[in-house]
């Protein structure tokens, strides 16, 4: 797990799981945020033990967590997962974004104002050099719209600019956000990021 900081905010970037998306990757990042925000410190030991962490290690982690400054500075976590259904991790949204690759992560950062249009174009250009087709990148933009990772109106404008440079296929028919993803986006912002089923409560 890596973290990039900007003016007291943090964006978590999850490493690609070797077998396509163990849930461990997700609750590690949500637990990190919840501990920092002091919204789920009490059950942290229980969560770690529940997922196979040795008791001594879990206790040591708890001691480390108790000494960190309390702030709700984590904006979002991005997990790159190429070979598993994104819908299977719907209950992590909108705090954790499930992305097929670097292009969707760039789109999420762009939507949040962390990178510019040109930054997205550079990511797309790099992927094109690696052999990704304009159609494949267009499909990833469409998926980002379906999940609500980017606003469709802004995405259409971005797609026009990128397609004009030959980086992605025409994005004029991008979908609206799917109802199930839109519903998850309305969760209580004060709720812990770690799903209830993993907190044991």
Q: pTM of the predicted model, to two decimals? A: 0.72
Amino acid 7: pLDDT: 36
Amino acid 5: pLDDT: 40
Amino acid 85: pLDDT: 65
Instruction: Please state, in angstroms and rounded to a whole number, the distance separating the CA atoms of residues 6 and 25.
Output: 23
Amino acid 21: pLDDT: 45
Closest CA relative to residue 93, chosen from 190, 184, 168, 183: 184
Can you tell me which residue has the tokens 């404008």? 157
Q: What are 12's strand-pairing partners? A: 3, 77
Amino acid 45: pLDDT: 74
Amino acid 68: pLDDT: 62
Can you tell me which residue has the tokens 């510019």? 116
Amino acid 125: pLDDT: 96
Q: What residues of the chain score a pLDDT lower than 70?
A: 1-43, 51, 65, 67-74, 82-86, 171-172, 189, 197-201
Instruction: Please state, in angstroms and rounded to a whole number, the distance separating the CA atoms of residues 97 and 123.
Output: 18
What is the 3 state secondary structure string of the chain? CEEEEECCEEEEEECCCCCCCCCHHHHHHHHHHHHHCCCCCCCHHHHHHHCCCCHHHHHHHHHHHHCCCCCCCEEEEEEECCCCCHHHHHHHCCCEEEECCHHHHHHHHHHCCCCCHHHHHHHHHHHHHCCCCHHHHHHHHHHHHHHCCCCHHHHHHHHHHHHHCCCCCCCCCCCCCCHHHHHHCCCCCCCCCCCHHHHCC
pLDDT of 124-144, one tens digit each?
999 999 999 999 999 999 999
Amino acid 52: pLDDT: 77
Amino acid 114: pLDDT: 87
Amino acid 20: pLDDT: 44
């Amino acid at each position: 797990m890596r973290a990039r900081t900007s003016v007291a905010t943090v964006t978590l970037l999850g490493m690609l799981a070797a077998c396509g998306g163990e849930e461990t990757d997700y609750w590690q990042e949500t637990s990190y945020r919840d501990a920092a925000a002091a919204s789920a410190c009490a059950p942290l030991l229980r969560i770690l033990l529940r997922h196979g962490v040795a008791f001594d290690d879990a206790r040591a982690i708890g001691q480390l967590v108790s000494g960190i400054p309390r702030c709700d500075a984590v904006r979002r976590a991005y997990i790159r997962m190429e070979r598993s259904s994104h819908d299977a991790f719907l209950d992590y949204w909108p705090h954790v974004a499930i992305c097929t690759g670097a292009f969707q992560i760039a789109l999420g950062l762009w939507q949040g104002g962390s990178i510019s249009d040109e930054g997205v174009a550079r990511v797309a250009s790099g992927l094109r050099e690696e052999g990704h087709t304009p159609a494949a990148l267009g499909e990833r933009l469409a998926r980002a719209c379906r999940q609500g990772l980017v606003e469709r109106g802004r995405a259409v404008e971005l797609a026009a600019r990128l397609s004009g440079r030959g980086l992605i296929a025409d994005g004029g028919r991008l979908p609206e956000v799917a109802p199930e993803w839109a519903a998850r986006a309305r969760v209580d912002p004060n709720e812990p990021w770690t799903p209830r089923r993993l907190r044991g409560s």
